[in-house]
Structures are given as C-alpha cells and as structure tokens.
Structure 1
Amino acid sequence: MRIFARVHQMPPRLAAAAIILDSGFGKATADEQSAAALHGLTTGTYPFLRRVDPSAFVRLLSKGEIALGVALLTPFVPSLLAGAALTGFAAGLLGLYLRTPGMREEGSLRPTKQGLDIAKDVWLLGIGVGLIVEEWRARDQH
C-alpha cells in the first residue's frame, strides 16, 4: 500500500473533503431540534441507532465527518484507506436514500425532490470506489 496519495488523486479527494467538512462543521453547531430531526431520519433506516441520544448522535456524526474530511485532505493518508472510509460513508448515505420512504419515485431509483440531495451523494461512492480500485490495480501490477 502506498503511503502518499498520488497527485492526480488529490482533486477528487479535495472535492469530497470540502463537502464532507462543510457538513461536519455544520452539524457541530446543530440545535436539539435539528439533532432530533436528523436522528429520526437516520433511525428509520438504521434502527440500531435509536439507542443513541439524538444530540450525542449528531456530535459523533459531526466528528466522524470532520475526521473523514481531514483524512481525505491529508496526502500521507493512503488512498486505499481514505477510499475505504469514503466508500463506507457514502454507502451509509445511499442506504438512507434507498430505504427511506419518499426519497425515490415509486418502483424506481429516480429521486423525488426530497431524495435528490442524498441521491447526489452517489459521486462520493464513485470517488471512494475509484480510489480503492486504483490502489488494488497498482498493487497487482507490482
């Protein structure tokens, strides 16, 4: 596994980091009402999170997003590791999209207006998978 990210990997890592950091810093100042709304949306798809206090959940999510954003920005975090973390995060977001009623048009993958914001996060999944695949291919070629 390469220790440093390749130069051409930094633009997608930077783009993903900018969005994720903005989201993480925004959640860091969430009030109780916003925390309850986000927790409610999330627990509909991931019921095991019901045991977590809404404010604590949003604080942890905020810290996780900030940590992921910093990892993506840091060139010495291997792209395989950064890509795996980004893929997991994006898969969680897309799980919300696929499993939350009202996010998609009936019988389709097409998003409703309510689901469009989360559906657009598919690009994060693409970046994460792309980083993983490139690192696996580079490893296999050596």
Structure 2
Amino acid sequence: MKLRTVPGRLASGAYILHSGLELWKGDERQAAATHGMAAAAFPFLRDVPPRRFLRLLAAGQIATGAALLAPFVPSALAGAALTGFGGSLVAFYLRAPGLREPGSVWPSREGIGVSKDVWLLGIGLGLLADAATECRAAERG
C-alpha cells in the first residue's frame, strides 16, 4: 500500500465498514425501507426479500470496507471494490425518484446525502488510476 493511498482508503474504508456493521443489525422495518428505496431505483430487486437484501447489502459493505482497510489488499483490488460500490450508489442517486432537481443532476434537498457518494466513486477511480500508473512504470523498467 502506498502512503498516498492511505487517507482515501482509511476514510472510505472505515465509513463503509461501519455502515455495513450497522446495516447488519438492522430490523425488519429498516430492511423494508432500504429494500423499498432500492427497488424503486432498480426494479429487478423487487423479487429479493427485504431482509435478505439488507443482509446482502451489509455483507457487501463489510467486505468492501475491510478490503480498503487491509494493508495487504492491493490498491487495484481495493479500488475495483470501491469503484463498484461507489458506482452503484451514484446509479441509485441518478435513478431514485425525488433525489434530484427535475431535469438536473443536482440534488434535491432529499438527495444531498446520497449525492455525496460521488466522492467514494472518485476515490475508487483514483486507486485504480494509481495502480495502473504503478503497473506501467514497472513495465518500463
């Protein structure tokens, strides 16, 4: 792990891990609410039972957060995981009703919290770019 990747991995990893652990403890009400929002944005999720959806989401967050925090996980792998996670959150933001101002990418009052997840996507892409740069430098000698 390069020193320059530590701040982004630490900040995003700790946040995502904590969020996943909190989701894991979620009750039926939280499962129904989380599943309902996700299914509104991604209709194919309607067939997944709410409790199972919450557990799968929590497990994905825990795994992603742990990968970012583990120094032995290469930045390319951690970056790929974070890019996938961040990308899914940005897609949710773009698809979920009521999170954006009509006809705009800018958030509504309700969408401010979710719109900030674009930073997770940016950190993930930065980790991937850093890993690709290191790989090219190693190939050149």
Same fold (TM over 0.5): yes
Q: Percent identity?
A: 51
AA in 2 matched with 1:105 = E
Cross-structure match for 2:82: 86
**Is the counterpart of residue 135 in structure 1 residue 131 in structure 2?**
yes
Structure 1 CA distance for aligned equivalents of residues 119 and 29 of structure 2: 29
Structure 1 CA distance for aligned equivalents of residues 63 and 11 of structure 2: 15
Structure 1 CA distance for aligned equivalents of residues 103 and 61 of structure 2: 32
Runs of 4+ off more than 3 Å: none
Structure 2 CA distance for aligned equivalents of residues 49 and 104 of structure 1: 21
Higher relative contact order (CA 8 A, sep 6+): 1
Give the TM-score, by structure 2 length. Answer: 0.94
- 1:37-89, Cα deviation, whole Å (9 max, x unpaired): 10011011222221211001101111110111111000110100100110000
Cross-structure match for 1:114: 110
How far 1:104 sits from its partner (Å)? 0.5
Structure 2 CA distance for aligned equivalents of residues 136 and 126 of structure 1: 15
Between structures 1 and 2, the one with greater helix share? 2
**Is the counterpart of residue 6 in structure 1 residue 7 in structure 2?**
no
How far 1:99 sits from its partner (Å)? 0.8
Structure 2 CA distance for aligned equivalents of residues 67 and 84 of structure 1: 12
Residue correspondence of structure 1 range 43-58 to structure 2 within 5 A: 43-58=39-54
Structure 1 CA distance for aligned equivalents of residues 44 and 95 of structure 2: 15
**SS of residue in 1 equivalent to 2:71:** coil
Unaligned runs of 5+ in 1: none
Give the TM-score, by structure 1 length. Answer: 0.93
Unaligned runs of 5+ in 2: none
**SS of residue in 2 equivalent to 1:111:** coil
How far 1:108 sits from its partner (Å)? 1.1
